[in-house]
Amino acid sequence: MLADQRHSPPRALPEPRTMTTLREQHEQLRHEITAGSRDAVTRQRRLGKRTARERLDLLLDEGSFTEIDMYRRHQAHGMKLGGNRPHTDGVIAGSGTIGGRRVFVYAQDFTVFGGSLGQAHAAKIHKVMDLALAAGAPLIGLNDSGGARIQEGVMSLDGYGGIFRRNVQASGVIPQISVILGPCAGGAAYSPALADFTFMVRDVARMYLTGPDVVEAVTGQRVSHEDLGGADVHGRRTGVATIVHDDEESCLGDVRYLVSLLPGNNLETPPSLPRRGAEADHRPWLAEIVPVEANQPYDMRAVVAELVDDGEFIEVHEHWAQNVVCVLARVDGEVVGVVGNQPLVLAGVLDVAASQKAARFVRFCDAFNIPLVTLVDVPGFLPGTDQEHAGIIRHGAKLLYAYCEATVPRIQVIVRKAYGGAYIVMDSRSIGSDLSLAWPTNEIAVMGAQGAVNVLFRKELSAAADPEVLRAELAGEYAEQLMHPYYAAERGLVDDVIDPAQTRAAVARGLAMLRNKRHAQPRRKHGNIPL
């Protein structure tokens, strides 16, 4: 035995470590991590989805991304995880720029563990959220995940809880944007629900708390992934999706545009562009858009397009609660939030969904120093037992609360009718609007002339030989005495009655006048909005 050992060839010594070999090994490892599994990437593309890194390339300025925790791996054992420890742990996190402005971002990688969230995965998201809050920069999450990593048990749930807590801490401090580019199921859905804006892509995005299999097992009801939680379901019915797109490229392009309108945090003002001469801009087409007759429909978005710079705006919740329009745009280079009743849908009445939609938008604008312009053409709140039993009082109070709480510059433009409590709620002078303007078509009253006459002169009308003639005569008198265009202006509730063609100029001058507005709020922990 000893003789054999004496005559065996000497064992080769390992090559000495040099900086060159270490750098080569380092470069090789980084390449393997960024390239990912070829089979997994192929499967991702077959699903009609880009990879997480391709999405980041579309979202961020070229060459601006700085990745953190690239080498992070899970530390779990057993349950088929111990020997499978890919780097990144299924999420790419870091920071980059959009239009030269700093943002923080994480992108879940479905090619690694199906993007499922475990302890290390969650820790990376926690880190980038903390950095975004500390730096005062927007946070963008690209969601494409199978949900909690079952093999890691309660640690996955703890990871989600940490995300939700940070969502709430950052709310109203930095803008938070969620983009759904694949599945987002179970507890994962609550982070997008807490974000300021949620984008979804048709056919690939789906979001629900319990999937179709669970729904069928519990209720016996069969439903597809798309019908249960697809982009159109959340864009049209639930209001969870703020903006819906047909493809990832246009979706991420719209996210870039949105970021260009937002401040980095609540201590900054939104980014401005050079003045556009709006204070002297005459728009005669505005006088043609709106019919004089109070019951004739028109598209309020056409009014918005004439009001804002270049007719460009981004509409939130375009397909949900369509009886109210909420957009972000610029007027004379300055970012504004515009809320307007939409006469094309339900005559522009306020209902439960419209109140929720507008209230959330108003509160977002107020949190991030975005002035508000409110275009009013509202016949009232939607009547009926369905609305009353659905809590229209409580939900309408949300919008009332949001406006009363807002301290940003606020301009009201009464385009046509403004009746009853809906007039008050749509940012009237009585609840704190800084400037109230009205067109000569304005009608401000407790209710329309016909309805008022039916209440005031019920006995006279029932006894009249020709009730319709008397009703028309009395309605004319009521409108002439109490609803003429200058009635509210004579009492100081409207600051100016303007030519519709001068609306853009008047709003621009009003915003310039209010630019340095300051308002001190009473000290309190927080109010108690009627949620």
Do 23-260 and 278-446+484-514 come out as alike in CATH topology?
A: yes
- The phi-psi region of residue 471 (left if phi > 0; otherwise alpha if psi is between -120 and 50; otherwise beta) is alpha
- Please spell the DSSP secondary structure of 481-528, one letter per residue: HHSSTTHHHHTTSSSEE--GGGHHHHHHHHHHHHTT---PPPP-S---
Closest by Cα among 54, 57, 74 to 65: 57
Mean pLDDT of the chain: 91
Token pair belonging to 525: 């922990």
Q: How far apart are CA 92 and CA 416, in angstroms?
A: 51
Angle, vertex CA 219, rays to CA 217 and CA 221, nearest 5? 90
Active site residue 421: yes
Lowest mean pLDDT among 110-114, 272-276, 389-393: 110-114
Q: Would the pLDDT of 316 be above 60?
A: yes
Q: Give pLDDT tens digits for 191-243.
A: 999 999 999 999 999 999 988 988 989 999 999 999 999 999 999 999 999 99
How many angstroms separate the CA atoms of 87 and 364, rounded?
A: 37
Task: Decide if 136 is catalytic.
Answer: no
DSSP string for 205-218: -EEESS-HHHHHHH
DSSP for 445-485? ESS-HHHHHHHHTHHHHHH-SSHHHHHHHHHHHHHHHHSST
The pTM for the full model equals 0.91
Q: Which of 96, 141, 159, 186 is catalytic?
A: 186
> What string of DSSP letters covers 390-451?
TTHHHHHHHHHHHHHH--S-EEEEEEEEEEHHHHHHTT-GGGT-SEEEE-TT-EEESS-HHH
Q: What are the φ/ψ torsions at residue 468 (nearest 5 degrees)?
A: -70, -40
What gap in Å lies between CA 236 and CA 353, rounded to an integer? Answer: 11
Q: 136, 162, 187, 333: which is the annotated catalytic residue?
A: 187
DSSP string, 59-123: HSPTT--EEE-TT------STT-TT---TTTTEEEEEEEETTEEEEEEEE-TTTGGG-B-HHHHH
Amino acid at 5: Q
In angstroms, the CA 144 to CA 109 distance is 7
Among candidate residues 153, 172, 391, 421, the one labeled active-site is 421
Active site (annotated) includes residue 186:
yes
Res. 83 pLDDT band, cuts 50 70 90:
low
Q: What is the DSSP letter of 311?
A: G
Give the start-to-end residue ranges of the domains of the chain.
Answer: 23-260, 278-446+484-514, 449-482
Positive or negative, the Cα torsion across 104, 108, 112, 116? positive
Of 241, 422, 452, 488, the active-site residue reads: 422
Q: What is the pLDDT of residues 406-457, one digit of tens each?
A: 999 999 999 999 999 999 999 999 999 999 999 999 989 887 777 787 888 8
Of 504 and 150, more confident:
504
The residue type of 87 is H
Q: Which residue has the tokens 């809050």?
A: 133
278-446+484-514 carries CATH number 3.30.1360.120: no
End-to-end CA distance of the chain: 85
Give 235's DSSP letter: I
What CATH number was assigned to the domain covering residues 23-260? Answer: 3.90.226.10
Give 352-368 pLDDT, tens digit per residue. Answer: 999 999 999 999 999 99
Amino acid at 322: Q
- pLDDT classification of 530: cutoffs 50, 70, 90: very high
Q: DSSP secondary structure string, 137-172? A: --EEEEE----B-GGGTHHHHHHHHHHHHHHHHHTT
The question of whether 348 is a catalytic residue gets the answer: no
Model confidence pLDDT, tens digit, residues 279-294: 999 999 999 999 999 8
For the chain, give percent helix, strand, coil, nearest 5: 45, 20, 35
Q: Tell me how far apart the alpha carbons of residues 519 and 227 are, in angstroms, rounded to a whole number.
A: 46
